[in-house]
């Protein structure tokens, strides 16, 4: 069974030595067959503070350095390693973003609920796909496409109103930030469960929804 990453160990997930954002983006396209597209990046402010800001220029940016850089980002996303290499060659500091609704969807939950669900799913010995852990304390479980359509009914069958849970499906028109993308000064996205040959085949949302809804419901009652 794969080792579960905890909040205390997540920041020690090793990156490949010397790998650049360009290298990582190409690897995601080449090895995982994921579509990728370049997002915003971090720049040093042109003042004496030396702090970093988002390339979008907004001082109130909620995801500095980690969101789409253009409105037509969906058409820019590519599964070609050659095209990915060309895109990041133009702007090597661009964040790595993955569109959902194509190769995978993602179930997005708070970090605390995510680790609780992850432990429960592993005890049940269910097959899990990759899981990201973001600096703003969210976790995203990769599942087969179509989760956005299924999730409301699945949650209702479990006795919950979808609006009562901090659980949402990211599907067509959405995206996730991939490691090692940074969220400003908050830190970098990490893998709570890394992509491996064993988890190339993703679970269906139905297989995870009970554990995730239970964990989110427990958080809601606190």
**pLDDT 10s digit of each residue in the chain, 222 long?**
444 444 443 433 344 556 899 999 999 999 999 999 999 999 987 765 668 899 999 989 999 999 999 999 999 999 999 999 999 999 999 999 999 999 999 999 999 999 999 999 999 988 899 999 999 999 999 999 999 899 999 999 999 998 999 999 999 999 999 999 999 888 999 999 999 998 989 999 999 999 999 999 988 777
Do the beta carbons of residue 28 and residue 82 sit within 8 Å? no
Q: What is the pLDDT of residue 17?
A: 57
Cα gap 63→53, rounded to integer Å: 10
Cα gap 31→81, rounded to integer Å: 9
Cα gap 15→24, rounded to integer Å: 9
Cα gap 75→155, rounded to integer Å: 32
For the chain, the three-class secondary structure string (H helix, E strand, C coil) is CCCCCCCCCHHHCCCCCCCCHHHHHHHHHHHCCCCEEEECCEEECCCCCCCEEECCCCCCCCCCCCCECCCCHHHHCECCHHHHHHHHHHCCCCCEEEECCCCCEEEEEEHHHHHHHHHHHHHCCCCCCCEEECCCCEEEEEECCCHHHHHHHHHHHCCCCHHHCCCEEECCCCEEECCCCECHHHCECEEEECCCHHHCCCCCHHHHHHHHHHHHHHHHHC
Cα R_g (the chain), whole angstroms: 17
> What would the two tokens of residue 104 be?
């995978």
Q: What is the pLDDT of residue 48?
A: 55
> What would the two tokens of residue 122 be?
């592993």
Write the CA distances from 13 to 51, 52, 148, integer angstroms. Answer: 26, 24, 29
Phi, psi dihedral angles at 19 (to 5 degrees): -80, 130
Q: Does the predicted model carry a pTM greater than 0.75?
A: yes
Burial 93-115 (b: 16+ CB within 10 A, else e): bbbbbbbbbbbbbbbbbbbbbbb
End-to-end CA distance of the chain: 31
Q: What is the pLDDT of residue 6?
A: 46
Q: What is the pLDDT of residue 18?
A: 66
Q: What is the pLDDT of residue 11?
A: 36
């Amino acid at each position: 069974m794969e080792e579960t990453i905890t909040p205390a160990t997540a920041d020690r997930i090793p990156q490949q030595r010397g790998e650049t954002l360009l290298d990582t983006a190409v690897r995601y396209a080449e090895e995982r067959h994921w579509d990728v597209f370049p997002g915003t990046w971090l720049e040093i402010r042109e003042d004496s503070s030396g702090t970093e800001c988002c390339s979008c220029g907004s001082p109130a940016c909620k995801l500095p350095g980690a969101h789409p850089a253009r409105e037509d980002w969906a058409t820019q996303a590519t599964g070609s390693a050659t095209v990915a290499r060309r895109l990041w060659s133009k702007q090597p500091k661009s964040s790595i973003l993955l569109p959902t609704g194509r190769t995978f969807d993602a179930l997005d939950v708070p970090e605390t609920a995510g680790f609780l669900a992850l432990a429960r799913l592993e005890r049940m010995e269910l097959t899990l796909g990759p899981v990201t852990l973001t600096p703003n304390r969210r976790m995203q479980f990769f599942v087969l496409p179509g989760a956005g359509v299924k999730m409301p009914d699945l949650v209702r069958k479990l006795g919950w109103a979808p609006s009562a849970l901090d659980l949402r499906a990211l599907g067509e028109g959405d995206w996730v930030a991939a490691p090692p993308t940074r969220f400003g000064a908050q830190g970098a996205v990490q893998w709570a469960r890394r992509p491996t040959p064993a988890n190339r085949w993703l679970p269906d949302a139905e297989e995870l929804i009970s554990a995730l809804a239970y964990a989110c419901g427990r958080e809601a009652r606190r």
